[in-house]
Amino acid sequence: MNRTQYVQKSKRWIVKIGSALLTQDGKGLDYNAIQDWAEQIARLRQQGIEIVLVSSGSVAEGMSRMGWTARPSGLPELQAAAAIGQTGLIEAYERQFQQYGIQAAQILLTHDDISNRRRYLNARNTLRTLLSLKTLPIVNENDTVAMDEIRLGDNDTLAALVANLIDADLLIILTDQKGLYTKDPRHHDDAELISEGSATDPDFVSFAGSAGTNIGTGGMATKVIAAQRASRSGCATIIVSGREKDVLNRLQQGENIGTLLIPDNTQLAARKQWISGHLNQSGALYLDQGAAEAILHHGKSLLSIGVIKADGDFVRGDVVNCLDPAGNIIASGLVNYPRKDIDKICGRASSEFADVLGYTGEQELIHRDNLVVL
């Protein structure tokens, strides 16, 4: 399947627009730019494409309204800027989309909303219902209440998690670079644009570096990691310059711009997508080489006999990381025992559980059905 066929078969898109493309270098919202994005999205919808818009810009707009020229470092000030700016951001979008008869809907999420199983399902159902009603969901981080996420400034990750949430076909990450290069093109004249590749290619994160701007804090590396996350639900990603004229419609027509990152894994079941969406796990299990290989290469569950030690404060049903002997995170999963009990059964066979714990539970610490290889 060529690039044109790949893009044109995609009927549910996540479009992520960063702060640099929505503001006048931090001097408030660029209403001409927002009008242009609304026009492009309206044309895509006329072609039968469902769109969820993930938009940055609330903090930058709040900074402008308060007359701040530099992004504040304190959490309360960041939250205040987000609260002030969010009203202006959604109002600007709503005004533009109304011209095309499109009803906008605001969705504010934190990573906690996606990590909690009940709220995850609620968010999934709400977004799917909004799409069925032909509305345009506009998603942003709920920066006014988030404790960790606002420091990440990472709507790239949020966009990938939303792609997983609604089983999107294509994630478009609009940035101020033409795409992913082999080196940082601002510092290396021999940098080459990567037209297409696997979303899970380990070289791509090192190519991306960690550059950001003083308005937004996400760099190219977060975009590549977002593409990896999106690929877990079978979603492809295009990283492309939002400075390109009519970029969204040119992509839909199959034009070879930006970097297309294709998923090479089969789509995870919805439950495993939720597990993989956890950014802050409750603890960790350290595995011996045999257990690591059984998970990575043989599709096995995690047994207590292969666990060296546990770390963190977790209970049954929490999501924990699994680390190989070198300390690399190789998987995450729902654990069947609390930390206090795992400390007693590390390195032991399941046949010893009754004697050690005083009860017999599941044979596996993490069943394969609840385990996601990362």
The gap from C-alpha 308 to its chain's centroid, in whole angstroms, comes to 31
Are 187 and 154 in the same domain?
Answer: yes
Per-residue pLDDT band at 143 (split at 50, 70, 90): low
What pLDDT does 266 receive?
A: 64
**Domain carrying residue 291:** 281-373
Of 54, 295, 322, nearest to 164 by C-alpha is 54
Report the pLDDT value the prediction gives residue 188, as an integer from 0 to 100. Answer: 84
What SS3 class is residue 193? Answer: strand
Q: pLDDT tens, 199-215? A: 988 888 877 764 444 33
Measured distance between the N- and C-terminal CA atoms of the chain, rounded to whole angstroms: 26
Position 185 scores a pLDDT of 82
Give residue-wise pLDDT tens across range 154-174. Answer: 789 899 999 988 989 999 999
> 35: which residues sit within 8 A by CB, 6+ positions away?
96
CA dihedral defined by 279, 280, 283, 288, rounded to 10 degrees? 30
Residue type, 145: V
Closest CA to 52 of 89, 11, 2: 11
Q: Evaluate whether 283 touches 315 at the Cβ level (below 8 Å).
A: no
What pTM does this model have?
A: 0.79
Task: Give yes or no for residue 40 having a pLDDT over 50.
Answer: yes
Q: Which two tokens stand for residue 167?
A: 């089983």
Q: Is residue 214 domain-shared with residue 324, that is, in the same domain?
A: no
Q: Looking at the structure, tell me whether residues 263 and 286 fall in a common domain.
A: no
Domain limit, last residue, from 251, 272, 293? 272
The residue among 191 and 271 whose pLDDT is bigger is 191
Same domain, 313 and 255: no
Question: 252: exposed, middle or buried (C-beta count within 10 Å: 0-12, 13-18, 19+)?
Answer: buried
Mean pLDDT of the chain: 88
CATH of the domain at 365: 2.30.130.10
> Which of 228, 244, 272 is where one domain is finished?
272
Residue 185 sits in a domain whose CATH number is 3.40.1160.10
Produce one character per residue of 308-343: b if its CB has 16 or more CB atoms within 10 Å, e if not.
eebeeebeeebbbbbbbeeeeebbbbbbbbbbebbe
In this structure, the answer to whether residues 215 and 310 fall within a common structural domain is no
Domain count, the chain: 2
Give yes or no for residue 152 having a pLDDT over 70.
Answer: no
Q: What is the C-alpha to C-alpha distance for residues 149 and 140, in angstroms, rounded to an integer?
A: 11
Residue 238 clears pLDDT 90, i.e. is over it: yes
Give yes or no for residue 331 having a pLDDT over 80. Answer: yes
End residue of a domain, out of 244, 272, 300: 272
For residue 151, pLDDT over 60 is answered with: no
Cα angle at 6 between 202 and 34, to 5 degrees?
A: 90
pLDDT at site 258: 96
- pLDDT at residue 41 greater than cutoff 80: yes
Q: Could you tell me the sign of the dihedral formed by the alpha carbons of 312, 318, 319, 325, in that order? A: positive
Does residue 171 share a domain with residue 64? yes
- Token reading at 50: 């469902």
Q: Are residues 267 and 291 in the same domain?
A: no
Pull the structure tokens for residue 279: 């950014």
Q: Is the pLDDT of residue 103 over 90?
A: yes
What percent of the chain is predicted at pLDDT more than 70? 91
- Residue 157 phi, psi dihedral angles, 5° rounding: -65, -45
Q: What is the pLDDT of residue 149?
A: 43
Is residue 89 over pLDDT 70? yes
SS3 call for 133: coil
| Cβ(70)–Cβ(214) below 8 Å | yes
Look-up of token digits 């079978």: 234
Claim to verify: residue 135 and residue 156 sit in the same structural domain: yes
In the chain, alpha helices (H) = 3-8, 31-46, 58-66, 75-98, 111-115, 117-132, 149-152, 155-166, 203-208, 220-231, 247-252, 270-276, 289-298, 339-345, 353-357
Which residue, 139, 131, 61, 126, is CA-closest to 102?
Answer: 131
Whether residue 185 sits in one domain with residue 88: yes
DSSP assigned state of 369: G
pLDDT band at 279 (very low <50, low <70, confident <90, very high): low
Same domain, yes or no, for 131 and 247?
A: yes
pLDDT at res. 369:
84
Provide the β-strand partners of residue 141.
109
- What pLDDT, in 10s, does the model give residues 19-35? 889 987 667 899 999 99
Task: Looking at the structure, tell me whether residues 213 and 288 fall in a common domain.
Answer: no
Q: Are residues 226 and 368 in the same domain?
A: no
Interval 285-313 mean pLDDT:
96
